[in-house]
Amino acid sequence: MIAAMIRKTILDELKRRGWSRYRLVQSLQGKMPPSTVYQYLSGYRDLNSRRVSMILDVLGIKLVLPKQHKRAKK
């Protein structure tokens, strides 16, 4: 569920900026294969947290999880 919300947030931000998926791929500067980005945004594959973080960083999006999803301090 959270993964789908993150994907939607990324797609919404691309639309808000007027960016194409190609522009996002170019902004990643070769950090991941273009096909991976396209498949992820189309919902055909999931990405690990490191790769999703790269996309969020390029877009300047900070991920803040709701309190129930934060890990308890030890």
Q: Encoding tokens for residue 70? A: 């934060």
Cβ 48 vs Cβ 56: under 8 Å = no
pLDDT digits (tens, 9 = 90+) for 18-69: 999 999 999 999 999 999 999 999 999 999 999 999 999 999 999 877 776 5
What is residue 64's predicted lDDT score, i.e. its pLDDT? 78
Higher-scoring residue by pLDDT: 2, 68: 2
What is residue 35's predicted lDDT score, i.e. its pLDDT? 96
Higher-scoring residue by pLDDT: 49, 1: 49
What are φ and ψ of residue 46, in 5° steps?
-105, 160
What is the value of pTM for the model shown?
0.83
Please calculate the CA angle 32-2-71 and round it to the nearest 5 degrees.
Answer: 100
Domains of the chain: 2-66 (1.10.260.40)
Side chain identity, residue 21: R
**CB neighbour list of residue 25: distance below 8 Å, 6 or more residues apart:** 34, 37, 38
